[in-house]
Structure 1
């Protein structure tokens, strides 16, 4: 029910019903006045809290700004430089957000508190003053009326006329006070609809503007965040490589060898362990699985309800099932399936070999037919000694190298390569990665050092890097990107003369050199000097070039091309590191370090 209407004509009647309706309005004004007081109090508390929060964030931002990363080693990689600058980027972002918050706090008093206080004092206060005047005139009028009615009729006519005139005057004053009070009450009730609500709307608009500014800043921060995540992943990979080498050194010093074996306790009886790929690695979770051969319906129910709190069941349509090779994964009893609802393969693990055969028979599973180069995680798993020695014997016979095979009991990727590539010049490779940030300079430096190697060493190096280039071109399947290959082969190809912790910290530069060798294999192995080749490229126009790697265009003015593509009409571009060329009738920009001049 809303408030009852007050009619001006009721002021003349002044009935009990009119008085009751008037009390309803007065009660509502008192309630509104109390609410505004509480709202002003809470608003001041909110502004104080925002001011304290802003001060805390500014202090936090200042701490980030003042902190300086210090990395181990004489020089830093590009990834480490970017990570060291990340705190300052975070600080700048927080400062930008706080500038908008400070504007919100500065305007909050004028936008919210002042208008509310003004409405309470001027409007509701005026209504209260009207009530006081109305009550005063009411008491005065009815007192005068009572005395007037008690006058004797025997009084003189002149006296009675004067009394009538006085009561009429008092009645008029009462009516005026009643009408003004009724008008003021209704005026305040109507004004509160907009003068009371508008300040709240303005304050919320300022708050939403602050939140929108935060959203815009987050959108602008996204590219930097993605680049930083890439840098963090690279440093994580370098850390893993460095940690392994440092741990080996520590174990040799302590003369204690400890082989880590992953646990293999799995459950069967309808249960399978499913491999789930996540940004920080792969995890295995237990699922209760069912398969219907007639409909090819495969269901998985997650039995680990600790995190989600409820059981989730997924249903798929099976496409194929293939047994997983033992040497292609570090888990036993695994097989891969393909389903309609997901892209790629799902890797499952059974409890035993017998249980895996039952699943393969039920799903019409097949034996794996795939190239070794497509094996996921290639070169991350050590080889069998007998196979390693056989492979080394074959390679060394072709290269006419006299070496005692029985003394090589480590993996192929350690002592064999170390023997063939050991040379003072090659050990200094990692220093060229810190000389300059120019990629072309680094390639030229590596080129010069490679061609100072003895012929046998250089021949073995070219044979290895050529194979790694082939491996990297299949990184979509084997997950061995150029960066991953650098992490694996960097410590092997450029092992330090002294195994110390300081030397282990330079592994990150060794990884960069291996990446340069793989990415610029053709340039590094060709006989003429790269600096001359670069000058010839800059002044050559209209010549033909060939793509050493495939490339996917990211913008409309760039060209997409496969490995081995031939380009014509080649011109230097105004953008450093890019060329303008024509391929299949289309002209656009191509990266200079992806091609070779014919």
Structure 2
């Protein structure tokens, strides 16, 4: 139920009913005034919270901007580059959102707080002033009226006329105050419908503009988000593939002898205890030693264990002259051997960590210890060979897999009569696993150890536009048998990827599967495993550009390959001039 209307005529009567209705208006006015006060207070709290939120988001954005991804290895894939750049993209997106939020905050005081405060002070304040005047005139009028009515009729006529004039004047002032108050209080009740609501609407409009800007930014961000999700999935797949290879390497290392010598910069390296003669006897001090066979350089670095970790002192460098195993009965220590160096007189007695460790040192230094098989022999594979039997096996595997694909599609084909692989006995998973195992067990990977680093360089150092040409050129440097097998396999993978809607074998997935199969570093190290992601990219390029890569290499292609090698090994960057030359070669090659 709404407020009762106040008639101007009721102001003259000033009846109890009029006063009751007027009181309803006054209560509502006070309630509105209190509500506006609370709203202004809450609005200021909201603006403060928005400012704090904006400051926190900006700090968060700055942290994203300053963070720098560090990846294992000396090069990154395009996926890793995009992922590393993503934090800066996120930061830029948040900054754009915050620009709009700052505008909202700056306008909030003008569009919300100030108009509400103005309405409360000017309109409600004026009504309150009208009430004060009305109450004052009411009290004055009724006091005067009581005195006037108490006058004796015996007073002189002139006095009574003056009293009548005075009461008429007071009555008029009372009526004026009453009329103005009734008008003002009803005016405020009506004006609050728009002057009270309009600031709220303007503030909400700013809020909606902010949210709409966020929606527009999200819409513009969608393609980048989808690309980033694709990059993340590729990186996750590469991680799973690399992790499996690293775990296999770890298991092979674990199963080898404890003193297995991994590939490294030095012919041999590790801790040795060196005998140091003192006046009252001798002591054994631990040193970290390295030996480089080609130059016969032997270094020793004294090490000390301190609270902040292992401290390595300045190394001593010697030129090795000879090495001989120390007889067991000639010293009370085990695993000892003597060396002679050009820089010292006499022999230096060293103690290895175990018998097998001593044997490795003696082998490295051409000592008199009998040469035995290195512990790394346990890491060798059972090799297969790239011969005619291998080609037949691969062809039959591919034929059977593709035939089954046609069976699924047309339901009419039958296996060739000369197929040695029984299609009823082996499923596709077993056949493809056998195919991959054959390729992985080749004595040398299909794409050769010799070209491994060049392939990795081609996809990790060159710009995207030049990678296909570089891979094309490198493929045609492969031995003919390897190239023939690669073409046979990639042609099959092209057909498989064409059916990715049904078999889920996208080019990216095939790269993850066959990257470690077709390429392998000669050194089995974690650093080499980190390049598996680039091996996957090489296979992706071969599948996506099979027609181009399988074409014969022209003279321009050979020039291009030479140019790629210059870029790899000299600058590892592409200058504008180099880009122009490469593009000219591209055009002629086309």
> TM-score surpassing 0.5?
yes
The aligned residue for residue 166 of structure 1 is 166
Determine if contact 1:421/1:460 at 8 Å carries over to the other structure. Answer: no
Output the CA distance in 1 between the equivalents of 2:226 and 2:70.
Answer: 23
**Alpha carbons of structure 1 residues 450 and 154: separation in structure 2 relative to 1, 3 Å:** closer
Output the CA distance in 1 between the equivalents of 2:191 and 2:222.
Answer: 47
Deviations 1:432-471 (A, max 9, x none): 11231143x3233223322322232222222222222222
Q: Which moved more, 1:103-112 or 1:413-422?
A: 413-422
User: How many residues were matched structurally?
Assistant: 407
**Alpha carbons of structure 1 residues 22 and 369: separation in structure 2 relative to 1, 3 Å:** farther
Equivalent runs, 1:139-158 vs 2, <5 Å: 139-158=139-158
Match for 2:554 among 514, 521, 529? Answer: 529
Determine if contact 1:382/1:411 at 8 Å carries over to the other structure. Answer: no
The structural deviation recorded for 1:418 is: 4.0
Equivalent runs, 1:220-259 vs 2, <5 Å: 220-255=220-255
Output the CA distance in 2 between the equivalents of 1:193 and 1:510.
Answer: 71
Output the CA distance in 2 between the equivalents of 1:22 and 1:371.
Answer: 101
The aligned residue for residue 481 of structure 2 is 456
Output the CA distance in 1 between the equivalents of 2:140 and 2:508.
Answer: 97
Output the CA distance in 2 between the equivalents of 1:118 and 1:32.
Answer: 14
The structural deviation recorded for 1:195 is: 0.9
Output the CA distance in 1 between the equivalents of 2:151 and 2:118.
Answer: 49
Output the CA distance in 2 between the equivalents of 1:498 and 1:144.
Answer: 115
Output the CA distance in 2 between the equivalents of 1:239 and 1:380.
Answer: 25
Equivalent runs, 1:285-300 vs 2, <5 Å: none
Match for 1:519 among 544, 560, 567? Answer: 544
Determine if contact 1:427/1:495 at 8 Å carries over to the other structure. Answer: no
**Alpha carbons of structure 1 residues 92 and 421: separation in structure 2 relative to 1, 3 Å:** closer
Over the aligned positions, Cα root-mean-square deviation in angstroms equals 3.2
Alignment of 1:216 onto 2:229: no
Match for 2:450 among 387, 401, 424? Answer: 424
Q: What's the secondary structure of 1:126's corresponding residue? A: helix
The structural deviation recorded for 1:426 is: 4.8
**TM-score, normalised via structure 1 length:** 0.63
Determine if contact 2:507/2:540 at 8 Å carries over to the other structure. Answer: yes
Determine if contact 1:130/1:177 at 8 Å carries over to the other structure. Answer: yes
The aligned residue for residue 444 of structure 1 is 469
Q: What's the secondary structure of 1:83's corresponding residue? A: helix
Output the CA distance in 2 between the equivalents of 1:107 and 1:498.
Answer: 65
Output the CA distance in 2 between the equivalents of 1:161 and 1:371.
Answer: 133
The aligned residue for residue 2 of structure 1 is 2
Deviations 1:557-578 (A, max 9, x none): xxxxxxxxxxxxxxxxxxx99x
Q: What's the secondary structure of 2:461's corresponding residue? A: coil
Q: Which runs of 5+ in 2 are unaligned?
A: 257-396, 398-407, 417-422, 561-581
Match for 1:411 among 434, 437, 458? Answer: 437
The aligned residue for residue 122 of structure 2 is 122
Q: What's the secondary structure of 2:70's corresponding residue? A: coil
The structural deviation recorded for 1:382 is: 5.0
Relative to its length, the structure with more helix (as a share) is 2
- Relative contact order higher in (CA < 8 Å, ≥ 6 apart): 2
Deviations 1:27-61 (A, max 9, x none): 11111111111111111111111111101100100
Determine if contact 1:426/1:450 at 8 Å carries over to the other structure. Answer: no
Output the CA distance in 2 between the equivalents of 1:422 and 1:148.
Answer: 125
Determine if contact 2:72/2:530 at 8 Å carries over to the other structure. Answer: yes
**TM-score, normalised via structure 2 length:** 0.64
Equivalent runs, 1:182-331 vs 2, <5 Å: 182-255=182-255
The structural deviation recorded for 1:527 is: 2.5
The structural deviation recorded for 1:522 is: 3.0
Output the CA distance in 1 between the equivalents of 2:553 and 2:160.
Answer: 134
